[in-house]
Homo-oligomer: A and B are copies of this chain.
Amino acid sequence: MNQHVRLCEVGPRDGLQMAKGMMPAADKLRWIRQLASAGLREIEVGSFVSPKLVPQMADTGVVLPEALTIPGLTVCALACNLRGAMAAYEAGAHVLAFPISVSETHSHANVGKGTDAQIAMMASIVEWVRAQSRPMRIDAAVATAFGCSLEGVVPVARVAAVAEAVARTGVDEIALADTVGYAHPAQVRDAVRATQDAIGTTLTKLHLHDTMGLGLANVLAGLNEGIRGFDSCLGGLGGCPFAPGASGNIVTEDLVFMLESMGYQTGVDLPRLLDARAILAQALPEDPLRSGVAAAGIPKTFTSTS
């Protein structure tokens, strides 16, 4: 069994875009450097989207090229359309993350077009990227894969069908995303199995939120189905605009603690990772940071696998 788990830290993108405070580019870079020095090898550093809609991401064009100078770091950026994808490429991103909602209603609310139109957009982007001189990995995130706060239940068969259509565009990897935090472990198992049946190992990752407190239970359900990639966020920053008071992404600190305790290798140094919280606490005083491990301290029984 593969014991290596690939983590992608999405705090500088998914975490910050919901934060009350604005973090200056210099702080973002200090934070990204500290995350990298703790051993995180993949970081989503920002997004190329409308600065009017997401002002926290307006400086991605400044942050990304600096992040590229960090040795060994895979730099990811999110975009929602061809223009954004081109900007990510021009800035030098190693990986493009692109969301495609299974829920039509959420897709319209999020990117202004339906699911099929967004899949067609993905195909255009893949074609454009493949025609460029430099390679860029393309990761699609199948969003609202575990339910939608607007549409409600999202059938597993529909998730697998959308993933299959996305895979046909030629993307490199596909993630299932619990955009609003509704997932539970039995659903994770069912959706992962159905998607694996449809697209095999192109399903590499889960993007989970901890809205209902089930985030790490859902990770465990994914691990049990062979998933070895997860997005997470230092301090569990983030949240859901449709769920006031809800917590955000799964907490990187607690995820690393769980995985390393269980014998999985993340490559992350937990004490160093905890040190990176100080930057966040200072830069975003209004945004409470979560983490059981940070609150209670690393147990004396902990031994790192990495």
Contacts and interface: CB of A to CB of B under 8 A. Distances in A.
A185 B262 contact: yes
A182 B254 CA distance: 12
Interface in A39-69: none
B243 A297 contact: yes
B240 A296 contact: yes
A149 B299 contact: yes
Interface in A252-290: 254, 257-258, 261-263, 290
Choose among A152, A187, A213 the residue with the greatest number of B CB atoms under 10 Å from its CB: A213
Contacts of A262: 184-187
Contact of A153 (B153, B244, B301): B301
Contact of A182 (B187, B214, B245, B301): B301
> Interface majority SS on A: helix, strand, loop or mixed?
loop
Interface stretch (A9-17, A30-38, A87-95, A215-223): A215-223
Contact of A243 (B219, B257, B296): B296
A4 to B, nearest CB: 16
Contact of A300 (B152, B217, B245, B300): B152
Interface in A211-252: 211-214, 216-217, 219-221, 224, 240, 243-247, 251
A149 B300 CA distance: 7
Given A147-B301, A254-B213, A299-B149, A261 B181 contact: no
Given A185-B220, A213-B293, 12 more contacts: A147-B301, A153-B301, A184-B258, A184-B261, A211-B296, A212-B257, A212-B299, A213-B254, A213-B292, A214-B254, A243-B295, A246-B292
Interface of A: 147, 149, 152-153, 180-182, 184-187, 210-214, 216-217, 219-221, 224, 240, 243-247, 251, 254, 257-258, 261-263, 290-293, 295-297, 299-301
20 contacts: A149-B300, A153-B301, A184-B258, A184-B261, A184-B262, A185-B220, A185-B258, A187-B262, A212-B257, A213-B254, A213-B290, A214-B254, A214-B258, A214-B292, A216-B217, A243-B295, A243-B296, A246-B295, A247-B292, A247-B296
